[in-house]
Structure 1
Amino acid sequence: MVPLPAFSRAIDPAAALVPLLDVAQKKALADVVLNQAKGLGASYADCRIGRYLNQFISTREDRVQNIVSTESFGAGIRVIASGTWGFAATNDVTPDGLKKATQQAIAIAKANAKIQKEPVQLVPVKGYGEVSWKTPLQKNAFEVPVKEKVDLLLNANAKAMEAGANFINSNLFQVNEQKYFASTDGSYIDQDIHRIWPTFSATATGKDGFRTRQALSAPMGMGYEYLDVKPEDKIAGPNGLILYNRSYDIVEDAVAAAQQAKAKLTAKSVQPGKYTLVLEPNHLGLTIHESVGHPLELDRVLGYEANYAGTSFATLDKWETKSFEYGSKLVNIFADKTQPGSLGAVGYDDEGVKTKRWDLIKNGILVDYQKIRDQAHILGQRESDGCCYADSWSSVQFQRMPNVSLAPGTETRSVADMIKGVENGIYIAGRGSYSIDQQRYNFQFGGQLFYEIKNGEVTNMLEDVAYQANTKEFWNSLTQLCDESDYRLFGSFFDGKGQPSQISSVSHGSPTSRFDAINVINTARKI
C-alpha cells in the first residue's frame, strides 16, 4: 500500500476538481502574514499557501491492489528576524490561524538568533507583482475517470501475461501542486504544477530462477496526454528495442518487457573486463543524477547537508581553480528548471525566484553549483539559481536539485553510427540498481537491458552486468555523443533529501553516449 503523504486526507477523486480559494482570496490571506511579520520586526517574510493533490493506482496481474486519492492544504510561513530564519506552518488557513503561525515563526527566529553565528544574507530578487504559471496541459490527468486509468493498467498486465510474463504489477502516479507564494519583496505568484508517472515491473520465471524488466517510461511534467502515444515519439533501438520520447505506450512496453524478461532467463552471463559502454538516456539519467546532480548541490559541497548519501567530493577548492576537469571536453552539463515536459519545470521556485538555465560543467570544467538566495553570497554571486523547493506547505523550503542534463553533441551522429565504431562493448538501456559512496565519487550502476556489441554490431543479450568507476574517471572517458535528435529525458519521481525527509521530482536529459574502457563486473559470478 502506498503511504499517504504527511498531513494528507483521503478524498473522492471528484473533489480534486473543486477549487478551494481564488487568487484574490489567497492574496488577502498572504497579506495578513506579510503585514503581521513586518509589524513584529521581521526584515523579510514569505508565505506559501499550498494545495497538494495526489492519486496512486496500483494493480497486479488481473486485479486492482490500491487506489488512493489525497488532498493536503495549508500554509507555510518563513521569516527572518534578528538575522535568523524562523519557520512555522498551519492547516488553519484563516486570518487568525495565519497570525498565530506568523507569531510562532517570529518567536522561533528570535530563539534561533541566540545561537546563530552569522546573520542570514539573501541575495536580492525583484518583486514580480501578481503573476502566474501553469504546466502546459492537453489533458488534466485528474479529470480522467479512475476506471479508464485502471482499465489501461489491467490491459497492460493482461497483454504482458499473454506475452510470457508470470507476474506483473503496474502503477500510475499523479501529482498536482497548487502553490501560491507571496513575499515582502513584492511577489504574488500563483502556480499550478502537474506530474505523471506510469510504470510497471514484469517478471518471468524459469527452472533456474526469475528475471525482471521494469518499465522504460520516464516520469514527466505533463498531463494524461503522455499516455496518448504518438508514432513519432517511438524510437527504434538496437535488436528491435522500442524506446519512447514525450509520449509513452505502456501496453506495448509491457509486452516487450515480458518477452525480454523471458529472454533474460537464458541470456549469456557477461565476462568481466574493460568495455566500451553505449548508454541510452533512460539509463544515463540516473548516473547523471547521482554523480553530477547531487555532488553539485552547494549545501552538500559546504557540508551543510549529508542525509541520503553524504556530502560531495566537488569541493570549493576545485571550483576556485577554474580548471578542475570533471570530465572530457565533450561534457557540457547544465541545470534548467524551464525545460518543457520536465519534472522540475516551474515558472518560479519556492522563494519567488524566476527559474532559468545555467552551466554546471562547461567543456569538462567545473564552473558552478546549484544554489539559493541565502547561499549565493558564499560564492561571491549576486543571484539565486531559482532551485528552492518544499514538498509540502508544512515543510520548510531548501535547496533542491533542478533538472541537470548532459547537452547533446554538435556533430550529426545517430545511435547506429555510434555502435558501428565499437569493437567490444555493451549497450545498456533502462535504469537498475546502483550504489555510490558518501562523497559521490566511487560508484556502481546496473540497468534493465544489456546487449553485447562486437565489431560494430549488436549481437546477444547479456545478463548480470554492472559497471564500476569513479566520477572523474567515468566522465573523462566520454568520447562520443549522439546529436540533438536523440536527446531524451529520464526522471526521478521520488528524490529524497533532508531531515526530516522531503521528496522532490527532477528530470535529467541526455543523448545516447559512448564511454571507453569502463570496468564491467559480473554481478552473479556465473560465467
Structure 2
Amino acid sequence: MRRRDFMGLTGLAAGSLFLPSLPGFGGTPVDVGRMLEQIDVAVKKRLADAALNAAKSAGASYADARVGRYLNQYVFTREKQVQNIVNTESYGVGVRVLVNGAWGFAATNDVSEAAVAQAAREAVSIAKANARLQKEPVNLAPQRGYGEVSWKTPIEQNAFEVPVKQKVDLLLAVNAKAMENGANYVSSTIFQVNEQKYFASTDGSYIDQDVHRIWPTFNVTAIDRASGKFRTRDSLGTSMGLGYEYLTPRAQDKIAGPAGTGVVGYKLRYDMLEDAALAAKQAKAKLTAKSVVPGKYDLVLDPDHLGLTIHESVGHPLELDRVLGYEANYAGTSFATMDKLKSGNFKYGSPVVNIVADKLQPGTLGAVGYDDEGVKTGEWDLIKGGVLVNYEKIRDQAQVVGQDHSDGCCYADSWSNVQFQRMPNVSLRPNPSKLRVDDMIKDVDKGIYIVGAGSYSIDQQRYNFQFGGKLFFAIEKGKIAGQIEDVAYQSNTQEFWNSCAATCDASDYRFLGTFFDGKGQPPQISAVSHGSATTRFNGVNVINTARKIG
C-alpha cells in the first residue's frame, strides 16, 4: 500500500467518527481533479453490450447491466478547526439476469469488456442454480425499451466544481455565527453525492443519468455550567437533490414560522448562517424552557418534523415487498395488508389526507428520470381522501395487485449491489384552499407546535409509534406561549392520520430529506424526500420524556 493510499484510508476512518452514522461511507479515496473527469458514454455502452450479449449467449431470457460511478465528498469542521476532508470514488458494473424464471446477479470492479462478460456468465450460472429451488417463476411487468436517452438532476452549480476552500470558509463562518450567538460547541458538515449511472437492458434501453445530491448540516450545543445541563439543536436545512446553489439564500425561499417562535423554514435554498445563529439562541432557550405536562394536545407539525413521521408511518408500510413479507427478517412487515387495499374503503386517515408517491418533484432526493430497471418514473396516489388506494411497486411485483406496469421504485445504492424495491418520494398534498400557519394556530386551544425531526420508535409493522422533535412551543388559546421541552407524542398510524384536521396551503410546502434510509440484506441505503405543509392533528397523546416511570 502506498503512503498516500494509507493516509487517505486512515483519514476516511477518522472523519467518520464525527458523524452520527454513515452507512453509505464507501469507495476508494481519490483526489478532486479525478472526480471532475467524465466517462465517455460510448465506453459505458460497450461495457453494457458486452454484458448483455454474454448473458443472452449463456441462456438468459432477460438481462440488464448497470455501469455505475459513485462520487462522494465530505467536509467536516468543528468550531475553528477543519476536522477532515474526504473524497471517494467507486466504479464498476453490475449484471442482473433472468433464467428459467429465476434471478441471478454478479458484479465486477474490473471495467474491461472481458471482465464484464465474465460477470454476466456468472450471473447466469447463479440464476440457473436459483431456478432449481424457486417454486414460482419471476413474472416481470412488460417494459418497452427507450433507446439511447439521458437525464440529469437540474442543478445550477455542480458542488464538486466548487473549491473545497469555499466550502470550508462557509462552514467555519457557520461555526463562528453559532458561537457569537451563545453556542458552546458546534460542528458542521457538507456531504455531497454524484451518481453517474448507465443502465442498459435486453428490452432495448440505454439510459445515461447524472444524479446530484447535497446535505449541509450542523449541530450546536449550549451549556449551563452551573447545573451541568446542556441542550442541542441541529440544522433545520435538509438534504436535497440540488447542486451548490442550495447554499445560496434567496428571500423567496424563507418561510416564517408562527409569530412568537422565531422559527424560519427553507424551501429550495438554505441560509445556513442564519439558521446557525437561530440554533444557538434556541439551544440556550431550551436550558430554561418549562417541561411539558403530559396529556392530550392538538399538534401543529412543521414540515421539517412531519417528513419523518410520513417516512415511517406511510412510506415504509406501503412498500409492497414489506406488505408481502419479503422484508420480515430485517425491516419488518406492514399493518397495511393486502385485504385492506382490496376492501377499497380502508380509512388510513381523515378525508383531508391525500398522500402521493413520486420520483419527479424537482429538488427532491428521489428524483430521477428512470429507475434502476429502466422504468420511466411518474407519480401515483397512495392515500386519497383518507382511503388506501395503492402501494409502491417494481416490475416483478406489479401482477400481485393486478397492475400491468411498474411504479419505477427500483434502486441499488451501488453497482456492486442488486437493485430491489425502495421507497420513492412520499408526500402529503397541501391544502388547495388558502390557510397559513398563524391562522391554523388560532383554532388551537391547547396544543404544541413541533419543529424538526428528533428521536423516534416504531414497531415492526409500522403501526404503534413515538416521535420526538428538535423544538417545541406551547400553544394556549390560539397563541404561542413560549418554548417547552421533553416532548414526545404517541399514537398508532391509523389513529394518528385519522386525527389529521387541516393542512396549510402550497405556500408553506417544504421537503425533509434523508440520505441514509436503510433496508435489505445485505443492507443498502437510499435517499428520499417527503413534502408537506404545516399540518394539524387533534387530540394526540403527549408524554414527558424526562419523567421517570415508577
TM over 0.5: yes
- Structure 1 contact 220–343 (Cα < 8 Å) conserved: yes
Provide the C-alpha distance between the structure 2 equivalents of 1:409 and 1:144, rounded to a whole number of angstroms: 38
In the alignment, the residues of structure 2 paired with residue 85 and residue 526 of structure 1 have an alpha-carbon distance, to the nearest angstrom, of 52
Deviation at 1:308?
5.3
* Structure 1 residue 205 displacement after superposition: 0.7
CA distance in 1, matches of 2:329, 2:157: 37
The answer to whether the aligner puts 1:212 opposite 2:239 as a matched pair is: no
User: Structure 1: how far apart are the matches of 2:330 and 2:162?
Assistant: 36
Answer yes or no: is 1:227 the counterpart of 2:253.
no
Indicate yes or no: 2:48 matched with 1:17: no
Distance change in 2, residues 1:176/1:307 (3 Å): farther
* CA distance, structure 2, for counterparts of residue 62 and residue 187 of structure 1: 50
Which of 420, 434, 442 does residue 442 from structure 2 map onto? Answer: 420
CA distance in 1, matches of 2:541, 2:26: 46
Q: 1:278 to 1:308 in 2, by over 3 A?
A: farther
Judge conservation of contact 1:307–1:497 (CA < 8 Å) in 2: no
Which residue matches 1:278?
300
Paired with 1:318 and 1:14, the residues of 2 have a C-alpha distance of: 54
- CA–CA distance in structure 2, aligned partners of residues 426 and 332 of structure 1: 23
Does the 8 A contact of 2:23 with 2:516 survive in 1? Answer: no
Residue matched to 2:199: 181
Alignment deviations for residues 414-438 of structure 1 (CA, whole Å, 9 cap, x no partner): 0011011111100001110000001
Tell me if structure 1 keeps the 8 A contact 2:96–2:103.
yes
Alignment partner, residue 461 of structure 2: 439
The aligned residue for residue 301 of structure 1 is 323
Retained in 1: the 8 A contact 2:26–2:88? Answer: no
Unaligned segments of structure 1, at least 5 residues: none
Q: Which residue of 2 aligns with 1:289?
A: 311
**Partner Cα separation in structure 2 for residue 362 and residue 140 of structure 1:** 38
Residue in 1 that maps onto 2:108: 90
Q: Which residue does the alignment assign to 2:428?
A: 406
The separation in 1 between residues aligned to 2:357 and 2:538, in whole angstroms, is: 25
Q: Which moved more, 1:218-227 or 1:409-418?
A: 409-418
Return the letter of the residue paired with 1:23. Answer: V
Root-mean-square deviation (CA), in Å? Answer: 1.2
| Structure 1 equivalent of residue 498 of structure 2 | 476
Say which SS state the counterpart of residue 438 (structure 2) adopts: helix
How far off its partner does 1:4 sit? 8.7
Task: Measure the CA separation in 2 of the matches of 1:198 and 1:367.
Answer: 36
Give the 5 Å matches for 1:354-433.
354-433=376-455
1:149 aligns with 2:167: yes
| 2:183 aligned with 1:197 | no
Question: Is 1:505–2:527 an aligned residue pair?
Answer: yes
Amino acid at match of 2:147: G
Query: Which letter maps to 1:236?
Result: A
Counterparts of 2:525 and 2:468 in 1: how far apart (Å)? 23
Larger mean CA deviation between 31-40 and 285-294 belongs to 31-40
Match of 2:7 in 1: none
- Cα contact 2:24–2:525 (8 A) shared by 1: no
Measure the CA separation in 1 of the matches of 2:546 and 2:473: 17
Provide Cα deviations, 1:98-145, integer angstroms capped at 9, x if missing partner. 111011100000011111001110000110000000000110000000
Using the TM superposition, give the Cα deviation of residue 5 of structure 1 relative to its aligned residue in structure 2, in angstroms: 5.0
Q: Which runs of 5+ in 2 are unaligned?
A: 1-14, 17-21
1:324 aligns with 2:343: no
Q: Is the partner of 1:133 in helix, strand or coil? A: strand
Q: In the alignment, which of 147, 168, 188 is matched to residue 186 of structure 2?
A: 168
1:391-418 CA-to-partner distances (Å, cap 9, x unmatched) read: 0000100000000000001221000110
Please state how far the C-alpha of 1:62 moved relative to its aligned partner: 1.0
Following TM superposition, by how much is the alpha carbon of 1:306 offset from its aligned partner in structure 2, in angstroms?
A: 2.8
User: How far did 1:169 drift?
Assistant: 0.9
Q: How far did 1:459 drift?
A: 1.2
Shift of 1:232: 1.0
| Amino acid across the alignment from 1:10 | P
The reply on whether 1:70 has 2:88 as its aligned counterpart is yes
Which amino acid in 2 is paired with 1:412? Answer: K
CA distance in 1, matches of 2:215, 2:24: 17
Task: Indicate the residue corresponding to 1:255 in structure 2.
Answer: 277
- Letter paired with 1:267: A
* Counterparts in 2 of 1:123 and 1:309: CA distance versus 1, 3 Å: closer
State the alpha-carbon separation in 2 of the partners of residues 96 and 297 from structure 1: 38
For the residues of structure 1 that align with 2:24 and 2:88, how far apart are their CA atoms?
A: 8
Distance 1:6 1:467, change over 3 A: closer
Contact 2:24 2:516 in 1 (8 A): no
1:422 to 1:7, Cα distance in 2 relative to 1, 3 A: closer
Partner amino acid, structure 2, of 1:387: C
Q: How has the CA–CA distance of structure 1 residues 215 and 279 changed in structure 2, closer, same or farther, with 3 Å as cutoff?
A: same
Aligned partner (choices 456, 462, 472) of residue 484 of structure 2: 462
**C-alpha contact (below 8 Å) 1:309/1:440 kept by paired residues:** no
1:50 is paired with a residue whose SS is strand
Contact between 1:308 and 1:496, CA under 8 Å: does it hold in 2? no
Cα distance per residue 1:299-351 (max 9 Å; x no partner): 00000013654111000011110110000001100001010000000000000
2:121 to 92, 96, 103: 103
Query: Which amino acid letter does the alignment assign opposite residue 28 of structure 2?
Result: R
CA distance in 1, matches of 2:26, 2:440: 50
User: What's the TM-score once normalised by structure 2's chain length?
Assistant: 0.94
Contact 2:331 2:520 (8 Å CA) reproduced: no
1:6 is displaced (CA, Å) by 6.9
Inter-partner Cα distance in structure 2 for 1:6 and 1:522: 36
> How is 1:227-246 mapped onto 2 (pairs within 5 angstroms)?
227-238=247-258, 239-246=261-268
Aligned to 1:515: 537
Separation in 1, partners of 2:35, 2:237:
26
Q: CA deviation at 1:223?
A: 0.1
Aligned to 2:3: none
Contact (CA 8 Å) 2:140, 2:395: kept in 1 or not?
A: yes
Equivalent residue, structure 2, for 1:159: 177
2:273 is paired with a residue of what secondary structure?
helix
In 2, Cα distance between equivalents of 1:258 and 1:365? 42
Deviations 1:49-77 (A, max 9, x none): 00000001111111111111000000000
Q: Are residue 27 (structure 1) and residue 49 (structure 2) matched? A: no
Equivalent-residue separation in structure 1 for 2:373 and 2:295 (angstroms)? 49
Answering whether residue 374 of structure 2 is matched by residue 352 of structure 1, we say: yes
CA apart distance, 1:464: 0.3
The alignment partner of 1:240 has SS state of: coil
Output the TM-score relative to the length of structure 1. 0.98
Aligned partners of 2:45, 2:114: CA distance in 1, in Å? Answer: 15
Specify the SS of the correspondent of 2:288.
coil
Deviation per CA, 1:34-93, whole angstroms, max 9, x where unpaired? 111111110000000000000011111111111110000000000001110000000111
